[in-house]
Structure formats: structure tokens, C-alpha cells
Amino acid sequence: MRRFDFTGGTAVVTGAAGGIGAALADGLARRGSALVLVDRDAERLDAVAGEIRATGTPVETHVVDLADATATAAVAERIRDRHPRIRLLVNNAGVALGGRFDEVTLDEFSWVVDVNFRAVVQLTHMLLPALKAEPGAHLVTISSLFGLIAPPGQAAYSASKFAVRGFTEALRHELVADGIGVTCVHPGGIRTRIVRDARLGSGVDRAEFEAGRQRFERLLTIAPATAAEVILRGVARRRGRVLVGWSAKLPDLLARIAPAGHGRLLAAAGSRAADRPPTTVERPRTSA
């Protein structure tokens, strides 16, 4: 399969109001893509779109809560009607929920699965005809470090991200005959708002959760712009799998070496890292 050509194509990005999604939108604009940006936060989405429009890039926005299947279907239909040919679909939107399985309700668990997995499946299914209509199209799903390992307190999030991983790997094999590239991305410690914006399970002690959140946030050292550049380089090369940062690559390696015993090693390493002063990775490499 030839390298992906960003120039002149339409790229749809969900979760585009901040973090990796906003950085991907910026990187795609610089590579010459026209943008369709989707998010539930209208104010922040407008700000991202406004900055990109100022560069002369065509940008269309859609505000939707992907937890709502009916609203998601309506947005996908509008996008498909307006853009019968889509070159790139990036399913990036995601949410998090704090708490062990016995500390969250089934409704809370289902909310995570709805946004992180059901919406990915739904949007991909509805927009797949537009991808098939565009020669050289590509599909990207954003899984997670927790689509490689499943730590305690992340049952809902890990379940959704492992599901994204399996779904994407199956599509990679199914869509090769259609000439559509497929990439599953596993970001490590990216400095986004997802931990800060995570919902708290109904049975979780708030003080305990807050202490854990602060420790975890110290491990988020990779700038979204850096992550976006790694992802877009992977898309350009039609990589089937992209791991962002050693915080994803090392756990992946340990999970392969010790499928059932890597948890204790990672927990010890994470505790030591959280006790160290945070470091920052700001400067992305040159664009692909």
C-alpha cells in the first residue's frame, strides 16, 4: 500500500476540542487536509476551529455527545451527506471513569463503553462507504496504554480500549482488499485533560481518588503535539500499530514477556516514577 497522501483530502477527527484531537487537527491542517471536527464541547471546539481557519484551512464543526447513539447517528449522517468521500477518519474521542468494578454502577460502566467503543463502531460503520469511495483512504482508532495492559481501577476504560484494539485489528484484515489502511494507536502518558475530566464512580472515596489522580497526572509527560506527530507519521507510513512513548512501549513489552505477572512490575515502576519530579517532552519532530 502506498504512503498516505494528506493533501487535498477530507479528514474527520472526533474529540477535536483539545488534547490529542486538537493537535491532530493542527497537524492535518499543516499537511493540507480539509477538516471535519467533532466534539461535545462547543466553546472549545469553536476555539480550535477558529485558530485553524485563520490559516486558510477549510474547517467544519459538529457538536455532539457521543454517549447518545441517536445523536451520533444523526451527526454521522450529516457528515456523510456533506462529504461522500472521506480520506481519513480518526476516532479519537474518549472518556474515563475512576473506580474499581465494584465501585461503579452499570450505567457508569456503560457510559464509558458507549463513548469509547460503541461510538467508534457506529461512526466507522456509517462513514465506511465514504472511506471506500475515496482511493487511498485510511482509518485510525485511538486505543490506549490501557488497551495493552489493564491495571486495577480501570475495568471500564480498559474493557473499552481492548475492544477498540480488537475491532481495529479485525478491520485491518477486512479492509485491505478495499485499499483502506487501518491504524490502531496506543498512547502512553499524554498530557491531556482526560484524567482531570474523568468521572468518579458512585462508590469511590473522593479523597482517595484525588490522591491517585494527582500521582497519575505526574506520569503524563508527553505533549499532545508530540503524540500527534508520531501518530501522523505512522499514518503516512500506513503503520498498523502505533505506540506513543516509552510509557506505552515498555508496558507492551512486559505484557508480552509476562502476560499474567507484569502488573506488579508496572505498579512498582509507576510508584517510583510518580515520586520523581515531572519531566516534559514538548518538541515534536519534523512533520512527515
pLDDT digits (tens, 9 = 90+) for 196-251: 778 889 898 777 766 666 666 666 678 999 999 999 999 999 999 999 988 889 88
Q: Is residue 164 part of a domain?
A: yes
The long-range contacts involving 261-270, CB below 8 angstroms and separated by at least 24 positions, are 262/149, 263/149, 263/151, 263/152, 266/149, 266/151, 267/151, 270/219
Neighbouring CB atoms inside 10 A of 248's CB total 26
Task: Name the pLDDT band for 275 (thresholds 50, 70, 90).
Answer: very low
Domains: count for the chain: 1
- Position 19 pLDDT exceeds 80: yes
User: Which range marks the domain in which residue 239 is found?
Assistant: 10-248
C-alpha distance from residue 173 to each of 127, 180, 255, 270 (Å): 18, 10, 24, 35
Q: Is residue 2 part of a domain?
A: no
**Encoded amino acid at 93, one letter:** A
Q: Is residue 213 part of a domain?
A: yes
Is 180 a residue of the active site? no
Q: Which residues have a Cβ under 8 Å from the Cβ of 41 and sit 6 or more positions away?
A: 17, 18, 63
Helix (H, G, I), strand (E, B) or coil at 63: strand
Q: Is residue 244 part of a domain?
A: yes
pLDDT digits (tens, 9 = 90+) for 39-81: 999 999 999 999 999 999 999 999 999 999 999 999 999 999 9
Q: Which of 4, 6, 117, 157 is catalytic?
A: 157
Q: Between vectors from CA 182 to CA 176 and to CA 183, what angle results, nearest 5°?
A: 150
Q: Residue 2 is placed in which grid cell?
A: 502506498
Q: Is residue 283 part of a domain?
A: no
Residue 278's φ and ψ, nearest 5 degrees, are: -65, 145
Q: Name the more confident of 286 and 191.
A: 191
Q: Is residue 269 part of a domain?
A: no
Q: Say which CATH number the domain at 43 has.
A: 3.40.50.720
Q: What per-residue confidence (pLDDT) applies to 284? A: 42
Q: Is residue 258 part of a domain?
A: no
Q: What per-residue confidence (pLDDT) applies to 216? A: 62
